[in-house]
């Protein structure tokens, strides 16, 4: 072990510049919890942040949403997409933006990291939609967030990150395997720590925390399973198609997930175009 549990957490608690989300995120979250919030109030709040407004409009007009006619105002975007979708779009843009200062390190490319995260986000949204397992837009955000523990480590604990990354390359290990050898806490916990600091909803925090080991009995939080499946599918898609028996848990106990894996060949390949349009948009705007 490179560090013990207590020292690790005290370093985590003492990070001076934890990535932050813009205040607009918590303001919008607060408004959406208030049943008196009107379209007008929401618009007025979001319009205080003109950078977000222009990014939102270009997102709504991008191939990612694919509307036929041009959406030229925030209120139209809110009406067309709904409050929750806009809230999650603001959150997604802010998450990527909050890590914009992080630099590549010896073969760990930030662009590849976000490509993977966006791919998991798109697949998660689809799985949630298909299986009615969780809210699709929230699942997109959870997919985007799932590995942020890695970039937080890269940004704030470069000494530890470097040694893990060297072990990944030298010993031919997965990132998680290398972390388990060297750290008392791995990136899912670190990402969940950040999501908690950001006061994100608890289903998102749990989905990040358990994305490598979903709690099968957790019927009330299927989002964990959604993110786990999406991550496994993305990680294995360069090899042969992932099939249910390659997963390291007994998926038969989760009928909706088993059915989804059985039909993978039908629904997964067409999603590549959606992944590319998500990447084109989020990379162009960050
Ligand atoms: Fe991960
Ligand atoms: Fe991942």
Q: Where exactly does CATH 1.10.3210.10 map onto the chain?
A: 102-286
pLDDT in the model for residue 129? 92
- Which residue in the block uniquely carries the two structure tokens 């939102």? 56
Token representation of residue 74? 């925030």
Q: Which two tokens stand for residue 36?
A: 């008196």
Cα angle for residues 170, 172, 176 (degrees, 5° grid):
110
**pLDDT tens digits, residue range 36-79?**
999 999 999 999 999 999 999 998 898 888 777 889 999 999 99
Residue 72's Cβ-count burial label (10 Å; 0-12, 13-18, 19+) is exposed
118-145 residue pLDDT tens: 999 999 999 999 888 788 999 999 999 9
DSSP 108: B
At 173, is the pLDDT very low, low, confident or very high (cuts 50, 70, 90)?
A: very high
How many whole angstroms from 281 Cα to the centroid of ligand 1?
Answer: 23
Considering the domain 102-286 in this protein, what is its CATH number? Answer: 1.10.3210.10
> Span 252-273, mean pLDDT?
86
Whole-number Å distance, alpha carbon 75 to ligand 2 midpoint, is 35
How far, in Å, is the centroid of ligand 1 from the Cα of 191?
9
Q: How far is the CA of 210 from the centre of ligand 1 (A)?
A: 9
Give 230 Cα–ligand 1 centroid separation in angstroms.
11
Closest ligand to 124 CA?
2
Distance 176 CA to ligand 2 centre (A): 10
Helices (H), the chain: 5-13, 23-32, 39-46, 50-60, 74-81, 83-98, 110-131, 136-145, 148-156, 158-170, 175-182, 187-197, 202-209, 223-236, 255-262, 264-267, 272-284
The ligand whose atoms approach the alpha carbon of 153 most closely is 1
Q: Look up the pTM and report it.
A: 0.92
């Amino acid at each position: 072990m490179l560090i013990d549990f207590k020292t690790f957490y005290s370093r985590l608690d003492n990070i001076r510049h934890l990535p932050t989300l813009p205040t607009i995120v918590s303001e919008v979250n607060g408004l959406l919890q208030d049943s008196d919030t009107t379209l007008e109030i929401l618009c007025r709040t979001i319009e205080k942040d003109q950078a977000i407004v222009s990014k939102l409009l270009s997102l709504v007009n991008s191939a990612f949403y694919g509307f036929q006619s041009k959406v030229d105002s925030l209120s139209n975007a809110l009406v067309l997409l709904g409050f929750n979708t806009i809230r999650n779009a603001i959150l997604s843009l802010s998450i990527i933006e909050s890590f914009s200062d992080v630099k590549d390190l010896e073969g760990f490319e930030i662009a590849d990291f976000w490509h993977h995260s966006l791919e998991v986000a798109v697949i998660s949204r689809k799985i949630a939609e298909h299986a009615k397992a969780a809210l699709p837009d929230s699942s997109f955000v959870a997919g985007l967030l799932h590995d942020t523990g890695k970039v937080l480590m890269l940004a704030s604990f470069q000494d530890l990150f470097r040694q893990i990354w060297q072990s990944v390359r030298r010993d031919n290990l997965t990132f998680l395997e290398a972390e388990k050898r060297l750290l008392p806490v791995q990136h899912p916990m670190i990402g969940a720590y950040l999501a908690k600091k950001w006061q994100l909803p608890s289903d998102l925090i749990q989905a990040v925390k358990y994305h490598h080991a979903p709690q099968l009995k957790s019927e009330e939080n299927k989002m964990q399973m959604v993110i786990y499946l999406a991550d496994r599918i993305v990680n294995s898609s360069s090899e042969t198609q992932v099939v249910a028996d390659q997963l390291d848990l007994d998926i038969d106990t989760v009928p909706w997930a088993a059915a989804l894996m059985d039909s993978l060949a039908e629904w997964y390949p067409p999603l590549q175009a959606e992944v590319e349009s998500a990447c084109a948009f989020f990379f162009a705007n960050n």
